[in-house]
A and B are shown apart, each in its own frame.
Chain A
């Protein structure tokens, strides 16, 4: 039996899944919308940076766990 991931990791995993999917949808909507382009870009940029930060955090915790 595998040891389950801590609750925080699981929550983060699903939140990030939702964020990445949202990025995909906002991105494709943005490049095809004249009326909402600006509004969508102003969500797309910070959300992408947030995903990047979280992925970096995830990777570093993964690496630390492997070294241990």
Chain B
């Protein structure tokens, strides 16, 4: 029978349910439908580049590599991560071109990337994605999203200059960063390029002391500036990499750059050139392989897969990259795979 006390009890149960439902809607972002989330970020990649099932939504064109890292022990002074103890750890990774088109022609303007997975003796993993530019053009997810839309090629295959100008006006940090990027010449290939973490991390030493840190992979191969005009082979960069490794392993030095209090954790801003740099050891890349199920293809190079001894800073790009990579990874994992445009055993087969 419905008495007043039982009505009150029913009402309070309804009230609790309503509060739970409202908090759920708030947490899900349904109260702010236009906001930028990771699904929308990846939707925008698909809108700008077209849908290429099975491929990464960004850095879509690439090859896998394997090798090892010889630590010289010097990194241990700022981080207790086992990767910095004296010794060798196996690595695999991926060279790629920035951009979401898996068959894009290699060209002088494409940003080149190196992603590395270190497999540590205690079972931990360290994954890092680096680019051959000195700073990143944007400082956060919104800037990245704005840039994607602003630089979308129009019918003639070129970005609309008015939209690019509007983007640069709205993002002065991007205009400054792009000027810095244009001031550093690209190298002629993958093997003689230096790749930078761009984002900022923190190293933790064995006493728990935290130090701001960025890192670079500095090529042992001598720098040569890239040719002004791209060769006709659409895969000339990847073909040259395979040819280089056919002659023997290529090497890089992992250099940890030590930040000081007050150094920016904004990836558009460089650190002063005089920051202490620790050469932590040498990366050796021995072979490259066409992307396949048993190599780097199905790996998400999430920049927040970090061993104890390295932690994220408050750099806004880190969480955003991790979140967006997860959506890209989930989508492509459920899609049928098409062979990569780069077939290592078939050079010159470009695009």
Residues of A within 8 A of B (CB): 21, 24-26, 28-29, 31-39, 41
> Nearest chain A CB to B327's CB is how many angstroms away?
8
CB neighbours of A39 from chain B (8 A): 319
> Nearest chain A CB to B100's CB is how many angstroms away?
18
Q: How distant is the Cα of A39 from the Cα of B29 in the complex, in angstroms?
A: 17
Quick one: closest B residue to A25, CB to CB? Answer: B27
Taking a contact as CB atoms under 8 Å apart, the answer to whether B27 and A29 are in contact is yes
Q: How distant is the Cα of A36 from the Cα of B326 in the complex, in angstroms?
A: 14
**Total of A-B residue pairs, C-beta within 8 Å:** 53
CB neighbours of B38 from chain A (8 A): 31-34, 37
Taking a contact as CB atoms under 8 Å apart, the answer to whether A35 and B141 are in contact is yes
Taking a contact as CB atoms under 8 Å apart, the answer to whether A33 and B24 are in contact is no
Residue picked from B28, B29, B304, B312, most chain A C-beta under 10 Å: B28
Q: A32-B27, A39-B319 are in contact. List 15 more A-B contacts (CB 8 A).
A: A25-B24, A28-B27, A31-B37, A31-B39, A32-B39, A33-B29, A34-B36, A34-B38, A34-B41, A34-B320, A34-B323, A34-B324, A36-B319, A38-B312, A38-B318
CB neighbours of A28 from chain B (8 A): 24, 27-28
> Nearest chain B CB to A1's CB is how many angstroms away?
19
Provide 27 A-B residue pairs closer than 8 Å at the C-beta atoms, listed in order of the A residue: A24-B24, A25-B23, A26-B27, A28-B27, A28-B28, A29-B28, A29-B29, A32-B28, A32-B29, A32-B38, A33-B29, A34-B36, A34-B37, A34-B38, A34-B41, A34-B141, A34-B323, A35-B141, A35-B316, A35-B320, A37-B319, A37-B320, A37-B322, A37-B323, A38-B304, A38-B323, A41-B322
A21-B20 CB under 8 A given contacts A32-B29, A35-B319, A35-B320: yes
Q: How distant is the Cα of A47 from the Cα of B41 in the complex, in angstroms?
A: 28
CB neighbours of A41 from chain B (8 A): 322
Q: Which 9 A-B pairs have the closest CB atoms?
A: A37-B323, A29-B27, A38-B319, A34-B320, A32-B29, A28-B28, A32-B37, A34-B141, A25-B27
Q: How distant is the Cα of A22 from the Cα of B29 in the complex, in angstroms?
A: 16
Taking a contact as CB atoms under 8 Å apart, the answer to whether A34 and B27 are in contact is no
Q: How distant is the Cα of A36 from the Cα of B304 in the complex, in angstroms?
A: 13
> Nearest chain B CB to A18's CB is how many angstroms away?
11
CB neighbours of B27 from chain A (8 A): 25-26, 28-29, 32
Q: Mark B309-331, 1 if CB is under 8 A from A, else 0.
A: 00010001011101110100000
CB neighbours of A33 from chain B (8 A): 29, 37-38, 323
CB neighbours of A21 from chain B (8 A): 20
Quick one: closest B residue to A39, CB to CB? Answer: B319
